[in-house]
Amino acid sequence: MGAGAIGSLFGALIQLSGFSVHYVARGRQLEALKENGLTITGLIEGHLRVDVSNRPEEADLTIVAVKAYDTEGAAKMLSEVDCGITFTIQNGIGNVEILSKYLERVVGGVTTYGANLVGPGIVNYAGKGVVYAGNDGYASEEAKFVKRVLEKGFNCELVDDISFRIWSKAIVNAAINPLTAICRVRNGKIVEVEELWSIAKAVVKEGVEVLKKIGLPETDFIEMVRDVATKTSKNRSSMLQDVENGKKTEIDFINGEIVRRAEELGLEAPTNKILLKLVKGVEKAYGIIE
């Protein structure tokens, strides 16, 4: 559900693995998929005829790839059908909790696969990565089912610490994405430009303080950010692409969620708060939000 870049890539690779896939899309993407099917470029080249509509259908497994601000609406739609196991591969913090308010069998997920939409109905498979699927404290039968579906087309690992994985990706995204969106630069500049790197490190430190307070393990997130920004140095972050395309960003569910959790715990996250305000300011200045 959510046949944008990553949703389309997941749908394509699952379909190429021999499974029947129903895509849920809207707008120009929906029309393009209906009329022309899905074209894949990049690491693999191909074209697929696809089954697509604007609403979810009965399924054994539903993969949620909508923007975080659309999660609640998607969950309500999914609650109206037998959507089977729900597996989220979304960015941001809190998606599992939102989905779980409406659905019973929810599996958290994180992916580092890279994809971008070249145009309506055309997805570029930009980079292989890993898909983490699981719960906290154990690997559920639902998570094992997700792995069985994905393992033909993806490098998929079962984990028993999915909240830590979700927070880890969010902290990395919090350090890279807003700076690229505000400064209109590719990921590599975050490490290359001293002033940007100092801000990124401050973002990470604030996120780590929240992690410690909620009892999740620490790791060297600064090196993790350096590694991700270096390996994806030529990439334009999803937040930068959103701003360039006049679309709402997921800032509320990344830096905004770090700020919210910090305040709940009696901590401060001033750098994250400034970046949150700056990105919201960019969105308003460009007429993306009111």
Q: Work out the number of other CB atoms within 10 angstroms of the CB of residue 288.
A: 16
Is 212 catalytic? The answer is no
Residues in the chain, overall count: 290
CB 92 within 8 A of CB 255: no
d(CA 200, CA 207): 11
Q: Which of 34, 144, 152, 169 is catalytic?
A: 169
HSE at residue 248, side-chain half, CA atoms within 13 A, is 10
Query: Which sequence positions are flagged as catalytic?
Result: 169
